[in-house]
Amino acid sequence: MVHSGHGLLGGALYLMCDDLQAYVSELKKNGVSCTEVETQGWGIRTTIRLPSGSELGLYRPTHETALNLK
């Protein structure tokens, strides 16, 4: 799979947030560390390192989403 010009081995899972900065702050209050927030062409993102060594992505989209479709 290729995304934003970078090759990925395996898959990537990102959970979408309305307010990424607030969510990261809340996670830090609970002892969860995140990578530095980065801006991409599709949104702002960070990741959480899981005990298994895998990463779980969080992002706030800067693109249109299907959430408000009727």
What residue ranges do the domains of the chain occupy? 11-61
Please name the residues in contact with 65: beta carbons below 8 A apart, sequence gap of 6 or more.
Answer: 16
Is the distance from CB of 60 to CB of 19 less than 8 angstroms?
A: yes
Tell me the fold of 11-61. Answer: 2,3-Dihydroxybiphenyl 1,2-Dioxygenase; domain 1 (3.10.180)
d(CA 48, CA 51): 10
Beta bridge partners of 57: 14, 47
The answer, as to whether pTM is greater than 0.75, is no
Give the pair of three-digit tokens for residue 23. 């969510």
Using one digit for the tens of pLDDT, what is the confidence trace for 7-64?
Answer: 656 778 899 999 999 999 999 999 999 999 999 988 999 999 888 888 999 999 998 8
